[in-house]
Structure 1
Amino acid sequence: MSNQILALRQKLRKKRLKVSTFQQRQTENAILNRLRQYPKFKNSHKIGVYLHAFGEVFTHKIIEYCFTQHKAVYLPMICNMNQRLVWIRITRQLYKNKRFSMHRLGMLEPMASRGLPVSQLDLLIMPLLIYDQTGTRIGMGGGFYDRTLASAPYQPYRLGLAHDFQLSQHPLIRNAWDQPIDALLTPTTGYRFKRHFSQ
């Protein structure tokens, strides 16, 4: 990875961690209002969504709203054997009771031994650190989403969530292993991307 991307990643990590809880809740409310009207969300039943941990857009209200709409909610868990993600269905009661374990990387995971492959999800709501106007996404650096999606025979619709300041003003280099997103929601706007494009 280039020094420029490393510096940009470090800058965005710091900026995202400085977002206040109040601002995060405002962002979450604004994005949830957009998500409620989003056709792909309305028509999806099995929804994968992350638990925020490192300054990502909060997902608590989004998860709760999924339950009220009788969506099947799946949370990611890292498979230690291959460093890919599997998806664990969680009930409203388990979510309310915070039935999670702490992964060594610092995020919470559902407690289970087996989960669904990403191919069985209808919609995947993804975190990110940086994005551009072509749908290129840069994450925290672990590569979990990229590895998981790259090996999937079928890939669900990928919807990123971000703060407005996470938009790169310049096109990002998309490496062969980078998995782009199909669409993205911020507090003030939404984007739809073509998944494949010529670089």
Structure 2
Amino acid sequence: MSIDLKSLRQQLKTKRKQVDKFQQQSSSSKILHRLRHFPQLQQAKRVGIYLHAFGEIQTQQMIEYCFAQHKQVYLPMICTMNQQLHWVKISKQQYRNKRFSHHPLGMQEPMASRAMHVSKLDVLIMPLLACDVYGTRIGMGGGFYDKTLASAPNKPLRLGIAHDFQLVQERLPRQVWDQPLDVLITPLHMRLFKR
């Protein structure tokens, strides 16, 4: 039986937007607790992460944790020429003062400055709509992360974070261009996948 991806995407987008503020904070705290004990993040110097905008797991606590651990924090910026994400280093002050520009797709991104290729990151913390037990990740449909990671086959560690309901038991279809996760962390689960 094949999965109707369009329907699954819509269902999960709706469910994700309905997560209340208390549940969001609780989920974010539980995931951060797991991340604190995750060796690859402890050892990482350069961490790519996103600014939440559409009901994804909120990232404020994780970003502040990275700054407190003296890690370099990088945020994605969409390159309009090739539809890939380029990674811009931000400072604690820039983050706290919310010095970002508004992208037409609805999210905030760092102001244009020197950016770095994704392969220079040690860990990439990624949002998602769904992930199956094999590490297949379904995003919002733009393919930005897939296009970006296709040019970096070995690095960085690909770490998805999600609400528990976003971990689906059915096998999701994986196209040749889809870039699977190495790790998925939810409030209740941590799954490691073979790439």
TM-score by length of 2: 0.97
Secondary structure at the aligned position of 2:94 is classed as helix
Q: Is the 8 A contact 1:86 1:114 kept in 2?
A: no
Q: CA deviation at 1:113?
A: 3.4
Q: CA deviation at 1:152?
A: 2.4
Q: Which residue of 1 aligns with 2:142?
A: 142
Paired residue type of 1:52: H
Q: Which residue of 2 aligns with 1:62?
A: 62
Q: Within 5 A, what are the aligned runs for 1:34-113?
A: 34-113=34-113
User: Is residue 2:159 matched to residue 1:159?
Assistant: yes
Q: Is the 8 A contact 2:161 2:184 kept in 1?
A: yes
Q: Is the 8 A contact 2:3 2:172 kept in 1?
A: no
Q: CA deviation at 1:169?
A: 2.0
Aligned residues: 194
Q: CA deviation at 1:140?
A: 0.2
Q: Deviations over 1:8-46 (max 9, x none)?
A: 000000000000011100000000000000001001000
Moved more, 27-36 or 149-158: 149-158
Paired residue type of 2:12: L
Q: Is the 8 A contact 1:132 1:168 kept in 2?
A: yes
* Partner Cα separation in structure 2 for residue 153 and residue 127 of structure 1: 19
Secondary structure at the aligned position of 2:66 is classed as helix
Q: Is the 8 A contact 1:87 1:117 kept in 2?
A: yes
TM-score by length of 1: 0.95
Q: Which residue of 1 aligns with 2:182?
A: 182
Paired residue type of 2:63: I
Paired residue type of 1:106: G
Paired residue type of 1:171: R
Secondary structure at the aligned position of 2:86 is classed as strand
Secondary structure at the aligned position of 1:146 is classed as helix
* Partner Cα separation in structure 1 for residue 153 and residue 4 of structure 2: 33
Q: CA deviation at 1:3?
A: 7.3
* Partner Cα separation in structure 2 for residue 3 and residue 33 of structure 1: 33
Secondary structure at the aligned position of 2:116 is classed as coil
Paired residue type of 1:180: P
Secondary structure at the aligned position of 1:22 is classed as helix
User: Is residue 2:126 matched to residue 1:121?
Assistant: no
Sequence identity (%): 60
Q: Is the 8 A contact 1:160 1:185 kept in 2?
A: yes
Backbone CA RMSD of aligned residues: 1.1
After the TM superposition, list the runs of 4 or more consecutive aligned residues in structure 1 that deviate by more than 6 angstroms.
none
